[in-house]
């Protein structure tokens, strides 16, 4: 081997090793920064992030801890609706009679939704009339309609929703029931998830693996119309679009989404929280973590 070739190979290897070391140090600094932000929040927080252009660029903090799913469980319900349509079991263009009466998973007793506890008051005016499944699904995601959710989850069956999530690689998420089933809640029977599972689900949608390509693109379009934007999109600049679903109950605020950058790159980010001492401040701090993730992505450009 000539001296010149040896020198070239040595310098190339040295450059590669230096580059790897720099990336390792940058990842450590990135994790340390996010961890510090989490530590400043009075509550429990989980983060799951993956750069879809470079899957080795990821971050998992408390990603396998279980959280009450709140309204993030509506994304699995949406996926199941598209799946069952693809299987010929239903047609999303069909309409069904909108009723406000549901059965508890505990004993089959009836309960109804309270308009005062829902985020979609318009749909309550349609009770007793026929509403398309597409419209119910859109409201379930974009304005987090609990009434629409309960109608749809009874239609597709919660157990089938969970089974489909297992097929997508989400190992722990549990969709047990609709919303406001007080008897189930009192017994601790609630929908649950982890940050890792929601990341798996959102990544599957982003990669057209949660259904047909056409269906996944339709899901993304619906998720981009999300009306609650206090966390992931809050500090992001114009030109960045986010397909996401939030969820909140007392002391809990979540956001799970796919972030699309103007340069064509994208990433999935899941932020889960519980036991928040100050809901509003915690929400602001979670939005700050989203900003840090975005700045990390821009520094990788």
The pLDDT of residue 3 is 65
Which pLDDT score, from 0 to 100, does residue 273 have? 98
Backbone angles phi, psi at 64, to 5 degrees: -105, 5
Whole-angstrom distance, CA of residue 144 vs CA of residue 147: 9
d(C-alpha 277, C-alpha 224), whole Å: 30
CATH code of the region 40-299 = 3.40.710.10
Per-residue confidence (pLDDT) for residue 193, from 0 to 100: 98
Cβ within 8 Å of residue 219, ≥6 positions away: 78, 79, 82, 205, 210, 211, 243
The DSSP code sequence of 8-35 is HHHHHHHHHHHHHHHHHHHHHHHHHHHH
Cα distance between residue 37 and residue 116, in whole Å: 34
Q: Which two tokens stand for residue 219?
A: 């899901």
Query: What string of pLDDT tens digits covers the 301 residues of the chain?
Result: 566 655 655 555 555 554 445 555 566 789 999 999 999 999 999 999 999 999 999 999 999 999 999 999 999 999 999 999 999 999 999 999 999 999 999 999 999 988 777 777 788 889 999 999 999 999 999 999 999 999 999 999 999 999 999 999 999 999 999 988 889 989 999 999 999 999 999 999 999 999 999 999 999 999 999 999 999 999 999 999 999 999 999 999 999 999 999 999 999 999 999 999 999 999 999 999 999 999 999 998 6
Cβ-defined contacts of 111-116 (< 8 Å, 24+):
111/180, 111/181, 111/182, 111/183, 113/146, 113/147, 113/150, 113/179, 113/180, 114/180
pLDDT in tens, 28-75: 789 999 999 999 999 999 999 999 999 999 999 999 999 999 999 999
Strands 58-61 and 67-68: unpaired
Q: Using CA atoms, how far apart are residues 109 and 226, in angstroms rounded to an integer?
A: 33
Query: What is the per-residue pLDDT for 9?
Result: 58
- Hunting for tokens 């973590």 — which residue is that? 289
Cα 61 to Cα 43: distance, rounded to the nearest angstrom:
14
pTM of the model: 0.89
> How many angstroms separate the CA atoms of 61 and 35, rounded?
8
Please give the Cα distance from 48 to 203 (Å, whole number): 11
As a whole number of angstroms, the distance between CA 292 and CA 277 comes to: 22
Q: How far apart are CA 91 and CA 83, in angstroms?
A: 11
**Closest Cα to residue 287, out of 264, 265, 269?**
269
Q: Is the distance from CB of 210 to CB of 219 less than 8 angstroms? A: yes
């Amino acid at each position: 081997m000539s001296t010149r070739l040896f020198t070239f190979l040595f310098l190339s290897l040295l450059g590669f090793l230096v580059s790897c070391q720099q990336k390792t140090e940058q990842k450590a600094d990135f994790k340390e920064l996010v961890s510090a932000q989490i530590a400043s929040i009075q509550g429990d927080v989980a983060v799951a992030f993956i750069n879809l252009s470079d899957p080795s660029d990821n971050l998992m903090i408390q990603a396998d801890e279980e959280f009450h799913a709140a309204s993030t469980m509506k994304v699995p319900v949406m996926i199941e609706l598209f799946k069952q349509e693809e299987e010929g079991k239903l047609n999303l263009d069909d309409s069904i009679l909108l009723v406000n009466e549901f059965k508890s998973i505990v004993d089959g007793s009836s309960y109804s939704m309270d308009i005062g506890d829902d985020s979609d008051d318009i749909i309550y005016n349609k009770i007793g009339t026929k509403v398309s499944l597409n419209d119910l699904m859109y409201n379930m995601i974009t304005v987090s309609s609990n009434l629409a959710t309960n109608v749809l989850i009874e239609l597709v069956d919660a157990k089938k929703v969970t089974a489909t999530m297992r097929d997508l690689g989400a190992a722990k998420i549990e969709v047990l029931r609709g919303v406001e089933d007080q008897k189930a809640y009192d017994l601790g029977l609630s929908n649950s998830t982890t940050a890792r599972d929601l990341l798996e689900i959102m990544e599957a949608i982003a990669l057209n693996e949660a259904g047909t390509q056409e269906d996944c693109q339709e899901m993304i379009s619906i998720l981009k119309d999300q009306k609650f934007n206090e966390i992931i999109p809050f500090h992001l600049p114009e030109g960045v679009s986010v397909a996401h679903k939030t969820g909140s109950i007392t002391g809990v605020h979540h956001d799970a989404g796919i972030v699309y950058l103007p340069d064509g790159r994208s990433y999935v980010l899941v932020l889960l929280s519980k036991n928040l001492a100050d809901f509003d401040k915690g929400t602001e701090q979670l939005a700050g973590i989203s900003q840090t993730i975005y700045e990390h992505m821009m520094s990788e450009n």
